[in-house]
Structure 1
Amino acid sequence: MRWVRFCQTFENGAFKMKTAFLGLGVMGYHMAGYLQKAGYETTVYNRTAQKAVAWVAEFGGTSADTPAKAAHDADIVFACVGNDNDLRAVVLGENGAFSGMKAGAIFVDNTTASAIVARELYALGNEHGFHFIDAPVSGGEAGAKNGALTVMCGGDAAAFQKAQPAIDTFARAVTLMGPSGSGQLTKMVNQVCIAGMLQGLSEALNFSERAGLDSKLVLDVISKGAAQSWQMENRGTTMVDNKFDFGFAVDWMRKDLGIVLAEAEQNGAQMPVTALVDQFYKDVQAMDGGAGKRWDTSSLIKRLRRED
């Protein structure tokens, strides 16, 4: 009964896979919670063990003290960590997830990382007899809390189809974009669009303020036309109110734009506006919008207000 072993639990008349989740940050904590609530028997690992203890107390499931132990006997292993180096740290080595995974298991990486590391780990996974899907997410902390993330995936179609029902538990849209690395490349496109839109919105609102307009009324009017965007709807009024403690941090955006610009050097894409906005975010960091205060990405407008 090998198939029964692959689907460890039986709940409500249907087999459920066993899952593991590595990294319980502002995103992963909620994503792992949705897996457990959906009936997947989930084991979690977090570098700070107290966070894993708190997760188990809230959602159930179990915790492990190494990625390898968390991944042991799991059918799907998820990860959502900081960057390429953090991902390698939880995947590789004696205590890494790959050393604990069984043949045929699937590793789904929800980290926003480089396409280079995605392809590297995909190839290594194949050598060891299991699958790797790069699956970065968009939607921020609110999307994670509400189970409404957009997930863009790269990897093999058969592995994607097996993993998709589990990914669906914390997502509103899940799409296979192409072979390994395609999910990360799509996320890069996403971040380029967000950075450009936020710079445009910052300049527009700064212009509105200097022109003496009621900026909230301006937003109400233009959001009903062609200028409408998610950033305008969700960050416009908080930008007017000079509030920047919502969601995606400046430091994270700079990390992501660094990945974009490094990839562009390889594929020859011209990114003049993205490179400029990246430097604007560097200015915001110098204003203490980085790790000190953890301003969100809409704080670009503070750089323009500073020039008064």
Structure 2
Amino acid sequence: MSIKVSFISLGVMGFPMAGHLQKAGYEVTVYNRTTQKAQDWVTQFGGQYATTPKAAVTGSEIVFMCVGNDDDLRSVVYGEDGVLAGMSAGSVLIDHTTTSAKVAREVGERCTALDIAFLDAPVSGGQAGAENGVLTIMVGGEEKTFAKVQPVMNAFARFSQLLNSIGSGQLCKMVNQICIAGVVQGLAEGLHFAKKAGLDGEKVIETISKGAAGSWQMENRYKTMLAGEYEFGFAVDWMRKDLGIALDEARSNGATLSLTALVDQYYSDVQSIGGGRFDTSSLLARLDAIHEKK
């Protein structure tokens, strides 16, 4: 008998992630705030949908969530129609949302009181990673819970790692976003400099990507950056949300994130020129806009 699972929220990440679970042979019930999207998912993948989080998770052994932020998470977890109202003792709740570590611990405590296991498990890899089933998952929680659900998560992940107790998955995701912010800013400045110096940007990247400067961002984003196209991934609005979480955590733990704070301000500049839905490589658009004003 296949395992019954649920997936809450079918955004650009959740829609394909839930689809991989269904294709892997699990009995999947989905919930989405906009019912039409849940119906579209069933049409494409099969499975079932429900009209409340509670109804979607009733009877499921494992429940996955991937919503937008802390408030979104609370809105689907709590309340008489929320996830916890429908889950049974002994089941597992996995949150793939990028949130604060604080809310992860909060939800974890509520789950413990109900004898429900909880993992905070933010992901990296973007929409393409979700669609291709090759996400990286950063996990906080208990070893026995992780061991139980890791084979199920493998339906949409190429790598998952248990870091430590609840909240550590979110802390690791903060490190991930901190590193990405610095790398993308460096790439944007490098391409901007190449253009100002009269160099062929493609030849420059073809050369330096083979050495120590190479990165995923360089390999996957330089062509669209040079073309001024920024519709290929994680949006600036969401990156600012994530960097805000990291900066808040740094104020709490005493870490110094001077570059992260600076790049966060640069992303604010991108928003001010109408680029809130641009992908994160649009830091180059900011430099281009500055140049055009001169």
Q: TM-score, normalised by structure 2?
A: 0.98
Task: Give how far 1:165 is off.
Answer: 1.0
> In the alignment, residue 111 of structure 1 is paired with which amino acid?
T
Question: Would you say 1:49 and 2:32 are equivalent positions?
Answer: no
For 1:115-264, list aligned pairs within 5 A: 115-264=101-250
Which of residues 46, 53, 76 is equivalent to 2:62? 76
Taking only the aligned residue pairs, the percentage that are identical comes to 58
Question: Would you say 1:59 and 2:45 are equivalent positions?
Answer: yes
Task: Give how far 1:237 is off.
Answer: 1.2
Which of residues 271, 278, 286 is equivalent to 1:303? 286
- The alignment partner of 2:290 has SS state of coil
The residue aligned with 1:7 is none
Question: Would you say 1:22 and 2:8 are equivalent positions?
Answer: yes
- Give unpaired runs (5+ residues) of structure 2: none
Give the 4+ runs in structure 1 shifted more than 3 A. Answer: none
Which of residues 9, 13, 19 is equivalent to 1:33? 19
Q: For 2:81 and 2:149, locate their aligned partners in 1 and report how far apart those are by CA, in whole Å.
A: 24
- Give unpaired runs (5+ residues) of structure 1: 1-9, 11-15
> In the alignment, residue 210 of structure 1 is paired with which amino acid?
K
- The alignment partner of 2:273 has SS state of helix
> In the alignment, residue 306 of structure 1 is paired with which amino acid?
A
Q: For 1:132 and 1:287, locate their aligned partners in 2 and report how far apart those are by CA, in whole Å.
A: 40
Task: Give how far 1:215 is off.
Answer: 0.5
> In the alignment, residue 142 of structure 2 is paired with which amino acid?
D
Q: For 1:116 and 1:266, locate their aligned partners in 2 and report how far apart those are by CA, in whole Å.
A: 11
Q: Per-residue displacement from partner, 1:91-116 (whole Å, max 9, x unpaired)?
A: 00101000100110000000001100
Q: For 1:63 and 1:145, locate their aligned partners in 2 and report how far apart those are by CA, in whole Å.
A: 20
The residue aligned with 1:275 is 261
The residue aligned with 2:89 is 103
Q: For 1:237 and 1:224, locate their aligned partners in 2 and report how far apart those are by CA, in whole Å.
A: 16
Q: For 2:149 and 2:3, locate their aligned partners in 1 and report how far apart those are by CA, in whole Å.
A: 9
Q: Per-residue displacement from partner, 1:161-207 (whole Å, max 9, x unpaired)?
A: 11111111000001111100010000000000000000000000000
Q: TM-score, normalised by structure 1?
A: 0.94
Q: CA RMSD in A?
A: 0.5
Q: For 1:263 and 1:132, locate their aligned partners in 2 and report how far apart those are by CA, in whole Å.
A: 21
Corresponding pairs, count? 291
The residue aligned with 2:275 is 289
Q: For 2:136 and 2:41, locate their aligned partners in 1 and report how far apart those are by CA, in whole Å.
A: 23
- The alignment partner of 1:307 has SS state of helix
Q: For 1:85 and 1:162, locate their aligned partners in 2 and report how far apart those are by CA, in whole Å.
A: 28
